[in-house]
Amino acid sequence: MNSMIDQAPTGRFFSFDNSYARLPESFYVRLSPTPVKNPQLIQLNDSLAHELNLEPKDFLTTEGTEILAGNRIANGSEPLAMAYAGHQFGNFVPQLGDGRAILLGEVLDRNGRRRDIQLKGSGPTPYSRRGDGRSAIGPVLREYLISEAMAALGVPTTRALAAVTTGELVWRDIPLPSAILTRTAASHIRIGTFQFFAARGDKEMIKILADYAIDRHYPEVKEAANPYRCFLDCLIQRQAKLVAQWLHIGFIHGVMNTDNTSIAGETIDYGPCAFMDTYHPATVFSSIDRQGRYSYANQPVIAKWNLMRLAEALLPLLANDTAKAINEAQEALDTFNSRFESANTLGLLNKIGLPNGSDEDLTLAQDLLKRMADQKADFTLTFRRLCDLADSADDQKGDTSARSLFANPLAFDDWAMKWRKRLSEDNIDPAMRREAMSRVNPSFIPRNHLVEEAITAAIESEDFSVFKALLGVLTKPFDVCPKCNRYTKPPLPDQVVHQTFCGT
Ligand code: AMP
Ligand code: MG
């Protein structure tokens, strides 16, 4: 264990072992959550609790619910709101910070990995500005569903440990019930955390933060000749891979601001995010993204832009001489495109069942995407149905299910002919190919209309059964489940969600 981390006292609920709270006072403001009127548990994530060495039974008690609502402080917790800055839609804001979240502390999971435990929607902090520090129930259920779906899809992400209602209302355009999410993360350090100190010209704090982040997330770079350059390289690799993974499941983050970009390389801050139904690379959902800055296909461009902002903040550490430091940063950033391209290529080839494919096979995959966009095909269903065709190389009868997703099914037939020819040249056993494709092409994603349906039932009739049923399906996204068929379907025309809203 590294020297910065002191052992905190163990408690019945969490065995906290806090390290962020040992960092200098300028990193945060210490404060407790604001209690709520009548907390009730909506959902506890048993399997995550197990992974975190927690006892789920503890949290099913009144005391447990009070802890998850911020009405009671667990033993060993040192609650604080983290300071950070960030570029929001390209504009720099020197001070943002946790305005509606409080870090309770850190625990070590079963694999010895350090995880933050944070309450989101737990009351105002000095960083709340005009906000109320609360969260409506919609964004809480949304983040729960989508982050857990992402985890099950194998995408690095923060997780949802629990959700509670508060018995209080919050005012958005209308009064809405409020809720609190207990979120876990490898850490909540963001690119914006570095920018917070860089904007103040505080080189000493940038170094303390970088050393802390390296200890916690990239200990392997400590031995390198230039650890800070290696740290940047490692994060560039993680972000490039992460964004490629988003693209392969049709995910659009929606607010890829630098304050929403994790230094640990996890997907963080699920606001107006969404999964595409019909494939189109220019898809945007977020109501506030009028320029399409954070559209589906622009995500790699923005990830690189965000990493440039991190590199700028790290300049004082990259070399003593400014020109040399800029050179280091540039060299590191220049690797982003090729790192992204190789992750993207590999993922696309896996999706069409040609894991050892050539450049020509990549062109074949891209041709499919182009046809899907032109023919308004459903992203998830097209790839899932391709799996079923993968072990019937000469039998075109089975194609009906896939071709029917294309406005003009002939556009699929033409592509499928080329694809089948290519598959027949490959030496992979067709049944194994199908099996491998079914492990990367999910059946179940959190489709917008299903998420909305779950939220509406919760708001209108305090009915969480719709949420729970959907969650159950989303945690097994690659399963074959005939009785879950309803969850695979794209929205009917009147169910299509065109816009999503920020998670406040
Ligand atoms: P986000 O939408 O997560 O990127 O949030 C941007 C900033 O606004 C962060 O500093 C949040 O803490 C803050 N914020 C968002 N919603 C609220 C709210 N309801 N009350 C206080 N601060 C908020
Ligand atoms: Mg945020």
Q: How many CA atoms lie within 13 A of 466 on its CB side?
A: 19
Tens-place pLDDT, residues 189-231: 999 999 999 999 999 999 999 999 999 999 999 999 999 999 9
Q: Which residue in the block uniquely carries the two structure tokens 């020109």?
A: 323
Q: Which region among 96-100, 122-126, 207-211, 401-405 has the lowest average model confidence (pLDDT)?
A: 401-405
Residue type, position 219, single letter: P
What pLDDT is recorded for position 398?
65
State both tokens at 293: 């800055």
Is 155 a residue whose pLDDT tops 90? Answer: yes
What letter represents residue 237's amino acid? Q
Helix (H, G, I), strand (E, B) or coil at 161: strand
CA of 276 to the centre of ligand 2 (A): 22
Mutate to test the pocket of ligand 1, among 89, 96, 181 (most ligand atoms within 8 A of CB): 96
DSSP letter for each residue of 235-250:
HHHHHHHHHHHHHHHT
- pLDDT > 70? residue 503: no
* Minimum mean pLDDT range among 51-60, 102-111, 358-367, 383-392: 383-392
pLDDT in the model for residue 10: 44
- Under 8 Å between Cβ of 448 and 275: yes
Bridge partners of residue 107, in order along the sequence: 115
- 128: Cβ below 6 Å to ligand 1? yes
Domain boundaries, the chain: 6-187, 192-344, 356-438, 448-495
DSSP symbol at 75: T
- Mutation test of ligand 1: which of 34, 88, 128 has the most ligand atoms closer than 8 Å to its C-beta? 128
Whether pLDDT at 499 is above 90:
no
> How does strand 91-93 pair with strand 86-88?
antiparallel
User: CA-to-CA distance for 395 and 318, rounded, in angstroms?
Assistant: 58
User: Is the pLDDT at 246 greater than 50, yes or no?
Assistant: yes
**Per-residue pLDDT, 5:** 41
128 Cα: distance to centroid of ligand 1 (angstroms): 7
Within a 13 Å sphere around the CA of 44, how many CA atoms are in the beta-carbon half? 19
- Sequence length of the chain is 504
Of 131-145, 360-374, 387-401, 420-434, which range is least confident? 387-401
Tell me how far apart the alpha carbons of residues 497 and 274 are, in angstroms, rounded to a whole number.
10
Q: E strands, 377-468, where? A: none
Residue 269 in contact with ligand 1 by CB distance below 6 A: yes
Q: Which of 130-134, 285-289, 325-329, 441-445 has the lowest mean pLDDT?
A: 285-289
CA-nearest residue for atom 11, ligand 1, is 99
Whether residue 131 contacts residue 100, with contact meaning beta carbons closer than 8 Å, is answered with yes
pLDDT at position 382 is: 98
**What are the pLDDT digits (tens) for 181-191?**
999 999 999 99
Find the catalytic residue in 259, 269, 378, 391: 259
- pLDDT reported for residue 241: 98
Six token digits for residue 416:
């499928």
The Å distance, Cα 87 to ligand 2 centre, comes to 11
DSSP of 92-120:
EES----SSEEEEEEEE-TTS-EEEEEEE
Residue 130 pLDDT more than 80?
yes
Q: What is the pLDDT of residue 501?
A: 76
Ligand closest in space to the Cα of 123? 1
Q: Which amino acid is at 442?
A: P
Mean pLDDT of 46-75: 97
Q: Is the CB of 255 under 6 A from ligand 1?
A: yes
Ligand 1 within 6 A of 97 CB? yes
Q: Examine the pLDDT at 480 and tell me if it is beyond 90.
A: yes
* pLDDT tier, 427 (very low <50, low <70, confident <90, very high otherwise): confident
Q: How do strand 28-30 and strand 114-120 relate by DSSP bridges?
A: unpaired
Please, which residues have CB within 8 angstroms of residue 267's CB and are 6 or more apart in sequence?
A: 147, 150, 155, 156, 157, 158, 242, 246, 253
**Residue 406 CB-density burial (10 A; 0-12 exposed, 13-18 middle, 19+ buried):** buried
How large is the angle between the packed helices 299-318 and 203-217, nearest 10 degrees?
Answer: 120
Q: In 182-211, which positions are buried (b, 16+ CB within 10 angstroms) versus exposed (e)?
A: bbbbbbbbbbbbbbbbbeeebeebbebbbb
Share of the chain above pLDDT 70, in %: 96
Per-residue confidence (pLDDT) for residue 361, from 0 to 100: 97
Write the CA distances from 439 to 156, 342, 383, 392, integer angstroms: 17, 20, 11, 18
Confidence of residue 11 (pLDDT cuts 50, 70, 90): low
Distance from first CA to last CA of the chain, Å, rounded? Answer: 37
Given a cut of 80, whether residue 7 has pLDDT beyond it is no
Q: What is the mean pLDDT of the chain?
A: 95
Confidence of residue 6 (pLDDT cuts 50, 70, 90): very low
How many CA atoms does the CB half-sphere of 352 hold within 13 Å?
A: 28
Give residue 119 CA to ligand 2 midpoint distance, Å. Answer: 13
Q: Tell how far the Cα of 245 is from the centroid of ligand 2, in angstroms.
A: 21
| pLDDT given at position 48 | 98
d(CA 332, CA 232): 7
Cα atoms in the 13 Å half-sphere on the side-chain side of 440: 22
3-state helix vs strand vs coil in the chain, percent to 5: 50, 15, 40
When pLDDT is cut at 50, 70 and 90, the band that residue 399 belongs to is: confident
Neighbours of 346 (CB within 10 A): 16
Tally the C-alpha atoms within 13 A of residue 66's C-alpha that lie toward its C-beta: 8
Which 8-state DSSP code applies to residue 286?
Answer: B
For residue 159, pLDDT beyond 50? yes
Say if residues 158 and 221 touch (Cβ distance below 8 Å): no
CA atoms within 13 A on the CB side of 377: 27
Distance CA 32, CA 28 (A): 12
pLDDT, mean of residues 458-484: 97
Sign of the torsion angle spanned by Cα atoms 312, 317, 323, 326: negative
Place of tokens 């495109």: 337
Two structure tokens written together for 467 = 């949420």
Q: Which of 333, 272, 31, 284 is nearest to 146 (CA)?
A: 272
Q: How confident is the model at residue 344 (pLDDT cuts 50, 70, 90)?
A: very high
- H or E element that contains 171: strand 159-171
Flag whether pLDDT at 394 surpasses 60.
no
- pLDDT computed for residue 304 by the predictor: 98
For the full predicted model, state whether its pTM sits above 0.85.
yes
Q: Does 96 score more than 60 pLDDT?
A: yes
**Is 259 a catalytic site residue?**
yes
